[in-house]
Structure 1
Amino acid sequence: MGFEEIKGLIISMFGSDIILKEDKVSPQPSITIPNERLLEVCQFLHVQPQLYFDFLACITGIDNGPEVGTMEVIYHFTSIPYEHNFVLKVEISRNKEGEPLPKVYSLTPIWRTADWHEREVFDLLGIDFIGHPDLRRILMPADWQGYPLRKDYEEQTEYHGIIVKYYFF
């Protein structure tokens, strides 16, 4: 089943207003849906007999920068028995310093593979996954300051007496 057929099934279930953006130019076409509809759309992708996306292969986070003021979470789904793939995105507002982290619903109730992927996105970009069973840093130390993949991230110069950033003249 191809992109257009999968998109058609989503529209038939949720209506055409579920799609906020569509990217057909990319090598992997995708649709962007509202963040608040993520769980129900993903549940549909998982249980709908024609789709049966049984594998969440990857979750990627993108910081579009403080100028744009948004972040994206990109989900790559695969149906192993049907051998088709689909890419789904949500776009969220980027938080300013001192504000709560941006929030996206966790997909761990549907796909257990979301667990570590969501922890990685949380750790490196500071996106909070609502309902995640164990959301804590996975790559950086627990007391690390900031989120290294944010466009405005400023590296610490020292961590527990270890110089982590050198200045070259």
Structure 2
Amino acid sequence: MIENLIKDLQSRFGESNIKVYDGSKQDTLTIDLSVLLELCHYLRDNELYYFDFLANITAVDYHPDNRFALVYNLASLVYQTQLSLRVELSVENRDKDNLPEVPSISRIWRTADWHEREAFDLMGIYFTGHSDLRRILLPDDWEGFPLRKDYEDADSYHGIPIKGE
């Protein structure tokens, strides 16, 4: 199925926008950010593929290159198939606060709501169009993004020491 899927997606969205990613044991496609929303709709709604479940979104920090990637793990419960989509976010994909920026897919798969909030909270990736993008694990006034490789632990939070000796 994956060979036919790749051919279909490349003909529909352009060969330069869909590439096979070789760094994974699972079927993974690197896709261009410009086709993310349309491609996700297509994968969900096309009866040949019917990727009806978004299992996870993982954010990756490639410090010191100052770039990030998002990996979307999709599943078709009907067809018992899985697929990962990988989107690279370059320095050009930044919002006004210098956060990497990507469109939200939470209107396509509702499970994306919490996954995107977690990636925002811990990695500082901004999801445009998300209906409730705010911290989910850390306090609202927390400074920085703890899963980034360049993150430095604060000595204290509201006067409470948090750095171990």
TM-score by length of 1: 0.90
Q: Secondary structure at the match of 2:114?
A: helix
Alignment of 1:49-128 (within 5 A): 49-65=47-63, 67-94=64-91, 99-128=97-126
Give the Å deviation of 1:99.
Answer: 4.4
Aligned to 1:16: 15
Counterpart amino acid of 1:104? V
Q: Which amino acid aligns with 1:75?
A: Y
Separation in structure 1 between the aligned mates of residue 117 and residue 163 of structure 2, nearest angstrom: 25
The answer to whether the Cα contact below 8 Å between 2:27 and 2:82 also exists between their aligned partners in 1 is no
One of 135, 147, 150 as aligned partner of 1:149: 147
Aligned residues: 163
Structure-2 residue corresponding to 1:4: 3
CA distance in 2, matches of 1:132, 1:99: 17
Structure 1: gaps spanning 5 or more residues: none
Q: Name the residue aligned to 2:43.
A: 45
Equivalent position amino acid for 1:88 in 2: L
For the residues of structure 1 that align with 2:101 and 2:23, how far apart are their CA atoms? 28
Percent identity between the two aligned chains = 48
State the shift of 1:25 in Å: 4.7
Distance 1:157 1:8 in 2: 52
| Counterpart check, 1:166 vs 2:164 | yes
Q: RMSD of the alignment, in Å?
A: 1.7
Greater alpha carbon shift after TM alignment, 67-76 vs 25-34? 25-34
Quick one: distance in 2 between partners of 1:73 and 1:131? 17
Gaps of 5+ in 2: none
Distance 1:115 1:86, change over 3 A: same
- Matched-pair contact (CA < 8 Å) for 2:13–2:35: no
Query: d(CA) in 1 for partners of 2:137 and 2:70?
Result: 18
